[in-house]
Copies of this chain bind each other. A is one copy, B any other.
Amino acid sequence: MSGKFFHGVLIAVVLSFTAVSVSAFAKEPLPSWNDGPAKKAIVEFVERVTKAGDLDFVAPSKRIAVFDNDGTLWAEQPMYFQLAFAIDRVKALAPKNPGWKNKQPFKAAIENDIDTLMKFGKRGLVELIMATHAGISTVDFERIVEIWIAGARHPKTGMLYRDMVYQPMLELLAYLRANGFKTFIVSGGGIEFMRPWAESVYGIPPDQIVGSTIKVQYEQQDGKPALMRLPELNFIDDKAGKPVGIHYHIGVRPIAAFGNSDGDFEMLEWVTSGTGPRLGVLIHHDDAEREFAYDRDSHVGKLARGLDEAPERGWTVVDMKSAWRCVFPEKCVAVTQSK
């Protein structure tokens, strides 16, 4: 974690408790965002719903903002980072499962054959992920995730996966919270894969994370209770499942939604079709140099319908290349210092 990033998180924490810092922050709420239509739309929305006495004022308890994770808060190329984690798990468990060598999708995972893996589709991948993570307690699984996230690095950038989060989005999370919003993750990824690190990285506590789940069961183990992870899907929090996951976990319709792929379409649709002020935002990855460029034809994070319908639905498209001054926290240190 870079110093700048840690500093950002620290600011966010302090901001939740001091009114003085909030107004200081308000002067330059999103330093890593370039001035332009995306930043303007976000800031105008926040000012609109927080202006006491205004018709569009929204009470703090109703200021709920939901964020997709993969491709919205952190990167997702060349594959969902949770898939990289799953592949590492498959490799670690392979000696005890000799049959996997000849059985897909395990074979592809062991052989690092990502192209073949991707052909099983998102649902297949989620099932692979779930299957390789079952048969242990929730406590053991949490520890495995913690160890992995502390050291695992991206094959192309060489960065820790956990450092491949978007600085402009961290600032946006802090900005929203400073303005009384409660921020939630609503991801197709596994809820238990995100919880061990999301609080330190995004400032989002475990109970504000919605995601896909496998079944767990309450059992006695050596005279002590444990929650065992079963190899059975419980809920897929993707596409039309996102509004459902929001309903089960949050219980009110959020007023702002941030996503980046057509897997977020229904979430944005649900959020922006409510009454009163609404904000729908799509992060558009058009920045091959600083991050990745992909949309309509991508296997991971495909964005087509969202781009087509954003104008008529009033959704804001954030073209990363022009909207963001910098992308990853460690790169943002230099940019902000030279400002």
- CB under 8 Å from chain B, chain A span 232-265: 234, 240-241, 243-244, 247-252
Q: For residue A249, which residues in chain B have a CB less than 8 angstroms away from its CB?
A: 207, 249
Q: Is the CB of A251 within 8 A of B216?
A: no
- CB under 8 Å from chain B, chain A span 95-150: 138
Q: Is the CB of A250 within 8 A of B218?
A: no
A266 touches B (CB below 8 Å): yes
Q: Is the CB of A244 within 8 A of B225?
A: no
Bound Cα distance from A224 to B241, whole angstroms = 17
Known: A227-B243, A244-B216. A207 touches B270 (CB 8 A): no
A29 touches B (CB below 8 Å): no
| Interface size class of chain A, counting residues whose CB lies under 8 Å from the partner chain | 35 or more
Q: Is the CB of A269 within 8 A of B225?
A: yes
Known: A217-B244, A244-B218. A251 touches B61 (CB 8 A): no
Q: Is the CB of B251 within 8 A of A213?
A: no
Give a binary string over A201-226; 1 marks a CB under 8 Å from any B CB, 0 the rest.
00001111100010011100000110
How many copies altogether? Answer: 2
Known: A216-B247, A217-B244. A273 touches B206 (CB 8 A): no
Known: A227-B244, A227-B247, A247-B138. A266 touches B207 (CB 8 A): no
Q: Is the CB of A240 within 8 A of B252?
A: no
A191 touches B (CB below 8 Å): yes
Bound Cα distance from A62 to B184, whole angstroms = 18
Interface hub of A207, A250, A251 (most chain B Cβ within 10 A) = A251
A199 touches B (CB below 8 Å): yes
Bound Cα distance from A131 to B269, whole angstroms = 29
Q: Is the CB of A207 within 8 A of B205?
A: no
A195 touches B (CB below 8 Å): yes
**Shortest Cβ distance from A172 into chain B, in angstroms?**
20
Known: A217-B244, A225-B266, A225-B273. A199 touches B138 (CB 8 A): no
Q: Is the CB of B138 within 8 A of A218?
A: no
Q: Is the CB of A225 within 8 A of B243?
A: yes
Q: For residue A250, which residues in chain B have a CB less than 8 angstroms away from its CB?
A: 206-207
Known: A225-B266, A225-B273, A244-B218. A208 touches B207 (CB 8 A): yes
A182 touches B (CB below 8 Å): yes
Select which of B207, B224, B243 is within 8 A of A218 by beta carbon: B243
Q: Is the CB of A270 within 8 A of B218?
A: yes
Of chain B, the residue at the smallest CB distance from A184 is B207
Q: For residue A209, which residues in chain B have a CB less than 8 angstroms away from its CB?
A: 251
Q: For residue A273, which residues in chain B have a CB less than 8 angstroms away from its CB?
A: 224-225
**Shortest Cβ distance from A178 into chain B, in angstroms?**
15
Known: A225-B273, A251-B206. A199 touches B243 (CB 8 A): no
The contact sample of 7 A-B pairs, CB cut-off 8 A, is A206-B252, A207-B208, A216-B247, A217-B240, A218-B244, A218-B266, A227-B244
In order of increasing CB-CB distance, the 4 nearest A-B pairs are A206-B251, A218-B240, A207-B250, A218-B243
